[in-house]
Structure 1
């Protein structure tokens, strides 16, 4: 093991000397790419994914599906218009081992797929992946007829003993720790013999936009879905057994990964344009238009994309982020630079993400001179003058981008292991310095 892998190099976060003014092309959505890969792998015919995200999480998903027999060819689209992946469904099989890294979508979406494989599929990953909850998926799959060996942990590592099919049917789960438990079951449900009826029985269900994304993408490939948003029973989703269509899908830009760049406009009083921002989307990142406007900016959505402009002032905010929890680190970073206090609520589930994001944000902002306190379900942030120092990331990509936002306004901030941004946003350091004209 090299010295740099033990003590990842510190990256001096660029300090802005004036207002930013740039166009930033954001790569494709991780959430859409990984859902699209699963649905294409389970389809009855080949399909295309155009402009997919190439990042650690999506490459782990693609390699896992390949290991179970799915053909995924990387190249250009049929009309030669940019990068595209050709997904060729095949009979799923084991034995194989899936490396989930620390990707929630891989560790949760693929065990239901593995039940349809002929043979055992072992799941393993980064040390942190062992601490992330999987009980909702494991218990539900057992109720639906699967055989899973997790030695009673309710977490990784584990082996799914695929039998080539799964009965499916009704199941009740507590998905209050992750909406991915629901999405995981819905994505594979058309291939279950009886489909599935998923009933959420716990407390508030977080990140509902991600479930809406799953439902919309299922319908786009021909699945029949009954869900609360369209008059169904509250907290109940039903997916019928059916064949899935192979589609030609263009992946939207990842709006959550646009967050640090929009924040740069807010922090520096500048202007950022993100091309191809969709007019209608289920991505949680679309909420940034409203949230960052309330914090002092303004935005305009045109055919070219979204242009966000900072006013030169940052206001505190009292906001429930329960549906868009992944935006919390970037919002907390901006709030630490505001002219009034902020309260971010509805995000207790962030303690179970890539790291305990609430504890990590509190510690790192406070060590730069901030005044952040944890609440039962979020953070209270009182702005104070900040100073330079090391901002630790805990192998969490959104911690790295949060520290970079603060570095725009605070000289001397150094980001530990900025390379962790490769999880969802490859080339972030180069994109960041390019935005600043460096």
Structure 2
């Protein structure tokens, strides 16, 4: 069934404290979400594709390796432009998902189109992430999947070179990726797919809109007019050039630094029309005391010297919860975040981990089933455990701007989506590139 990824050594790191307002213009890596979707669509296309400005990080390299292992020609030797040439998909192959939700949910539907056995496994924590709805959906569409234990990793997809497709009902309340994974491969299914979600609301709706938008850009016919129903017609996907936007989720800690320090941070290269939830982020940061402006220079966030508390349902932008939690602890009034019960099933139980680690630093946080209540009070330094979760490291870094002596047990976990994070962060805080 394959082996799990070897344990890597931890890399301790002391979060730098800001003595002055930050002033930085950053060029961040490309969007993880866009890079992952572009790789899958390109591997299933009828001709070659290029990805301009992709994210080179652990998650996307694992995605490229998984597709390459099944026969697609994926060249990532050029950091600025990746090339994908589709090819007949075959096994046997093993896909290491690491701790990447995109790999474990986007690639099994593709494996159903391959001929042969494709095994999946990853980091130990990956075996706790929800896959049952996807496994059940693929089986109902005609894909054979062998699972040794509960509906989770490790698993084997026994591909027949074709997937019948059709209509499927799924509870995707644990992750929008469960729907996106089905939709991305659906044009290659013999009857396409109609996905009906039944259950609590699907989180991270902007990511589903990105999936639909990118499918259409590749030539797929997608009908999402009915709420919680997505219909994809069978048909060819077109190879094309993908322009990958800077990663908005990765930029949020840097924008938070502008609010914490009363400084200014510009994300260069930001497009005027975006597939990412920039307007929602603008609203949240403005409510917390920031000023947000989009210009030819990029997306700029300025701090006003005051961080305000915030009450918000973050179900559509749950990736922002850790950084916003750190920001809220430095605010002038309490905050309450709801709608993010599903992040208990991310790289770690993020709600519990945030409460546990910040409470150890003197914070006053209360867990609820689907969020956190934060009552600001002075924090102290100490060790902050990251649980192999890049977003936990980002949260600790934000708090460390105002609280000396916050020591992360492992900053290398940020390589999951941004290997450059420690260097970029330190340069922003110190003003030295």
What's the counterpart of residue 41 of structure 1?
43
- Decide which of 187, 206, 209 is 2:203's aligned counterpart: 206
Q: Which residue of 1 aligns with 2:57?
A: 55
Alignment match of 2:182 (pick from 180, 185, 190):
185
In the superposition, relative to structure 1, how do residues 50 and 276 fare at CA in structure 2: closer, same or farther (>3 Å)?
Answer: same
Structure 2 vs 1, CA of residues 285 and 125 (structure 1 numbering), >3 Å: closer, same or farther?
farther
- Secondary structure, counterpart of 1:170 in structure 2: strand
* TM-aligned CA deviation for residue 41 of structure 1: 0.1
Check the 8 A contact 1:46/1:88 in 2, yes or no. yes
Deviation for aligned residue 1:6: 7.7
> TM-score by structure 1 length?
0.95
Q: Corresponding residue for 1:233?
A: 226
- Over aligned residue pairs, what C-alpha RMSD do you find? 1.1
Mapped partners of 2:412, 2:264: distance in 1 = 26
Helix, strand or coil at the partner of 1:31: helix
How many angstroms apart in 2 are the aligned matches of 1:285 and 1:297?
14
Q: CA deviation at 1:56?
A: 0.1
**Partner deviation per Cα, 1:121-171 (whole Å, 9 max, x = no partner):** 000100011000001110000000010001351100000000000000000
Question: Does the residue aligned with 2:250 lie in a helix, a strand or coil?
Answer: coil
> Structure 1: which 5+ runs fail to align?
77-81
What CA distance in whole angstroms lies between the structure 1 residues aligned with 2:73 and 2:11? 37
Q: Please state if 1:139 is matched with 2:136.
A: yes
Residue 288 of structure 1 deviates from its aligned partner by 2.1
Match of 2:170 in 1: 173
State yes or no: 1:429 paired with 2:422.
Answer: yes
User: Could you say what secondary structure the match of 2:45 adopts?
Assistant: coil
Aligned partner (choices 309, 313, 317) of residue 324 of structure 1: 317
SS in 1 for 2:134: helix
Counterpart of 1:345 in structure 2 is 338
Alignment CA distance shift 1:6-1:37 (3 Å): closer
Partner of 1:242: 235
* Contact residue 11 and residue 412 of structure 2 kept, 8 A: no
1:67 corresponds to which residue?
Answer: 69
Q: Which residue of 2 aligns with 1:291?
A: 284
Residue 197 of structure 1 pairs with residue 190 of structure 2: no
Match of 1:396 in 2: 389
Of 222, 246, 256, 2:219 maps to 222
Paired position in structure 1 for 2:27: 25
Offset at residue 286 of structure 1 (A): 5.0
- Do the aligned residues in 2 keep the contact of 1:256 with 1:285 (CA within 8 Å)? no
Q: Which deviations, in whole Å up to 9, do the C-alpha atoms of 1:40-67 show, x marking residues without a partner?
A: 0000001111111000000000000000
- Number of matched residues? 425
Aligned partner of 1:79 in structure 2 is none
C-alpha spacing 1:89/1:75, structure 2 compared with 1 (3 Å): same
Residue of structure 2 in register with 1:155 after alignment: 152
What secondary structure sits across from 2:211 in the alignment? helix
Q: Deviations over 1:243-267 (max 9, x none)?
A: 0000111100000000111000000
1:119 paired with 2:116, answer yes
Relative to the length of structure 2, the TM-score reads: 0.96
State the Cα distance separating 1:282 from its structure 2 match.
2.7
Which residue does the alignment assign to 2:4? none
- Give, in angstroms, the shift of residue 415 of structure 1: 1.0
Alpha-carbon distance in structure 1 between the residues aligned to 2:226 and 2:405: 53
* Aligned counterpart, 2:255: 262
Q: Supply the distance in 2 between the matched residues of 1:8 and 1:98 (Cα, whole angstroms).
A: 24
3-state secondary structure, aligned to 2:309:
coil
- Cα offset, 1:376, TM superposition: 1.9
The answer on whether the counterparts of 1:255 and 1:286 sit within 8 Å (CA) in structure 2 is no
Partner-residue secondary structure (3-state), 1:372 = strand
CA distance in 2 between partners of 1:267 and 1:8 (Å): 28
Q: Provide structure 2 residue ranges, at least 5 long, that are not aligned to the other structure.
A: 1-6
Provide the rounded CA distance (Å) in 2 between the counterparts of 1:50 and 1:67.
22
Q: Is the 8 A contact 1:285 1:324 kept in 2?
A: no
* Aligned with 2:365 (options 360, 367, 372): 372
Query: 2:13 aligns to what?
Result: 11
The DSSP-based 3-state class of the residue aligned with 1:323 is helix
Counterpart CA distance in 2 for 1:151 and 1:75 is 36
* Contact 1:330–1:398 under 8 Å retained in 2: yes
> Which of 376, 387, 400 matches 2:380?
387
